[in-house]
Amino acid sequence: MSELEGQIAVVTGASSGIGRAVCCALAQRRAVLSLVARTADALHDTRRAIASEAAAVHEYRADLTNDKDVAALTDALKADWGRVDILVHSAGLFLRGSVEEQPVADLDRLYRINVRAPYLLTQSLLPIMKGQDGGLGQIVFVNSLAGLHARAGLSQYAATKFALRALADSVRQEVRGEGIRVMSVYPGRVATPMQRAVRRMEGGAYEPASYAQPEDIADVLVNALCLPATAEVTDVSVYPFGGHGAESGGPA
Ligand SMILES: NC(=O)c1ccc[n+]([C@@H]2O[C@H](COP(=O)([O-])OP(=O)(O)OC[C@H]3O[C@@H](n4cnc5c(N)ncnc54)[C@H](OP(=O)(O)O)[C@@H]3O)[C@@H](O)[C@H]2O)c1
């Protein structure tokens, strides 16, 4: 029996990239999956991919930048499952530009989905995660190497990822005594639709074989979730290995 069998897992960004790969890895461990994203067709695709392995799967369409959607999602999760064992925040957005040129409206967009949304969803679900009798609660923030090292052209994106790291570090201290582990994962370049867009913005070729694969990130993340309750992984960086993506892991 898998350590995660039957555990209720909520994954944002489940329709694409790293979030989708995390859903697949959790399904292989026989978790119960709650898939969260905006795009119905892509959510159905993820559901179809994991339906035969997951203990159960539900889809929840939500724009996480919309407070009413987050409230409705929280109510639906409470009604459907009554508990949440694992919460993975993978939904995110990348935009780039120099401080001189990038509109401040971009910063607002990045902030809403990269910081405010995981803050609000964590805040909304913590009461049921804390109130669970026995068992471990686990929260994962999919961050970025840009959340550790800012570079030219990344002021806005990196600022949101630095903020996300601060959120993770603060909430970890707040809930550690309640049996909830909090982990940040910092990937370098990963072969996903976001990275394709990143390369377009950089004016370079998209070479997926040169980057880490979403399944690599999912493996690291889910293996850390399986650690016994006597230890915790708080921060883990995952770099591409080999290929040109290895140059400090790239900006995303
Ligand atoms: N790819 C990389 O190289 C890389 C490297 C380091 C860190 N990261 C981080 O990893 C995370 C996942 O990235 P990815 O590469 O998997 O990106 P992706 O393939 O573009 O997927 C992004 C996900 O976020 C969801 N999303 C975006 N805006 C949303 C909103 N307003 N409400 C709800 N869901 C929303 C999208 O779903 P819908 O569009 O269906 O809503 C999609 O499922 C992000 O936080 C990113 O910053 C990525």
CATH number, domain containing residue 58: 3.40.50.720
For residue 3, tell me if it sits in a domain: no
Of the candidates 140, 43, 123, 37, which has an alpha carbon nearest to the alpha carbon of residue 85?
Answer: 140
Give nearest CA residue, ligand 1 atom 47. 92
pLDDT score of 132: 79
What is the token pair recorded at 146?
């840009």
For residue 252, tell me if it sits in a domain: no
For residue 1, tell me if it sits in a domain: no
Examine the pLDDT at 248 and tell me if it is beyond 50. no
Beta strands in 39-171 (DSSP E): 56-61, 86-89, 137-142
User: Ligand 1: residues within 6 Å at CB?
Assistant: 12-13, 15-19, 37-39, 42, 62-65, 90-94, 113, 142, 144, 187, 189-190, 192-195, 252
Q: Tell me which residue range forms the domain holding 196.
A: 8-246
For residue 78, tell me if it sits in a domain: yes
For residue 198, tell me if it sits in a domain: yes
pLDDT score of 135: 82
| For residues 35-48, average pLDDT | 98
CA–centroid distance, 240 to ligand 1, in Å, is 18
More confident residue, 246 or 43: 43
pLDDT score of 131: 74
Give nearest CA residue, ligand 1 atom 4. 252
Site to substitute for ligand 1 among 39, 192, 200, 221, most atoms within 8 A of C-beta: 192
Report the domain count for the chain: 1
For residue 46, tell me if it sits in a domain: yes
| For residues 11-26, average pLDDT | 98
pLDDT bin (cut points 50, 70, 90) of residue 2 is confident
Examine the pLDDT at 218 and tell me if it is beyond 70. yes
For residue 52, tell me if it sits in a domain: yes
What's the pTM?
Answer: 0.97
Site to substitute for ligand 1 among 33, 46, 60, 90, most atoms within 8 A of C-beta: 90
pLDDT score of 242: 76
Site to substitute for ligand 1 among 10, 11, 12, 18, most atoms within 8 A of C-beta: 18
Annotated active-site positions, please? 157
pLDDT in tens, 64-83: 999 999 999 999 999 999 99
Please tell me the distance from the alpha carbon of residue 156 to that of residue 105, in angstroms, as a whole number.
10
For residue 2, tell me if it sits in a domain: no
pLDDT score of 247: 47
